[in-house]
Amino acid sequence: MPDFYDDDARLTRPRIVALALSAALVALLSLIILTAPGDLERLNLVARERLTESGVANPVTAVLLNFRGYDTLLEVAVLLLAVIGIWSMARYARVWIKVPDTPVLAAFVRLVLPLMVLVSGYLLWLGADAPGGAFQGGAVLGGMGILWIAAAVWLPDFQFQRFARVMLVLGLIAFVGASTLLLALEGSFMEYPAGEAKNWILVIESAAMISIGMTLMMLFVGGIPRLNEGTV
Partner 1 sequence: MNDSAALYAVAGVILFGMGIYALVAYPHLLRKILGMNVMGIGVFAVFVALAYRGPDQPPDPVPHALVITGIVVAVCATGLGLTLATRLKALTGVAQLTPDQED
Partner 2 sequence: MNLILTVDVILVVIMLVTAWLALTARDLQRAVILFIALGLLVSLAWVRLQAPDVAMAEAAVGAGLTGALLISTLNSMRELQKKKTSEVTPPADASPTPQEANHA
SS3 of 106-167: the string is HHHHHHHHHHHHHHHHHHHHHCCCCCCCHHHHHHHHHHHHHHHHHCCCCCCCCCHHHHHHHH
Q: Which amino acid is at 162?
A: R
Lay out the site mask for partner 2 across 98-127 (x = CB under 8 A, - = otherwise).
Answer: -------------------------x----
Residues 148-167 that bind partner 2 (CB under 8 A): 150
Query: Binding partner of residue 63 among partner 1, partner 2, none, CB under 5 to 8 Å per kind?
Result: partner 1
Q: Which does 110 bind (CB under 5 to 8 A by kind): partner 2, partner 1, none?
A: none
Our CB check for partner 1 shows the closer of 77 and 105 to be 77
Burial class (CB in 10 A: 0-12, 13-18, 19+), 152: middle
Q: What SS3 string covers 54-110?
A: HCCCCHHHHHHHHHCHHHHHHHHHHHHHHHHHHHCCHHHCCCCCCCCCCCHHHHHHH
Per-residue string for binding with partner 1, 29-48, x by CB under 8 A? Answer: xx--xx---x-xx-xx--xx
Counting contacts by CB under 8 A, is residue 41 touching partner 2? no
Q: How far is the CB of 178 from partner 2 (least distance, A)?
A: 22
Judged by CB, which is closer to partner 1: 7, or 101? 7
Residues 66/192, Cβ–Cβ less than 8 Å: yes
Binding of residue 130 to partner 1 (CB under 8 A) = no
| Binding stretches for partner 2 (CB under 8 A) | 1-7, 9, 58, 60-61, 94-96, 123, 131-133, 135-136, 139-140, 142-143, 146, 150, 216, 219-220, 222, 231-232
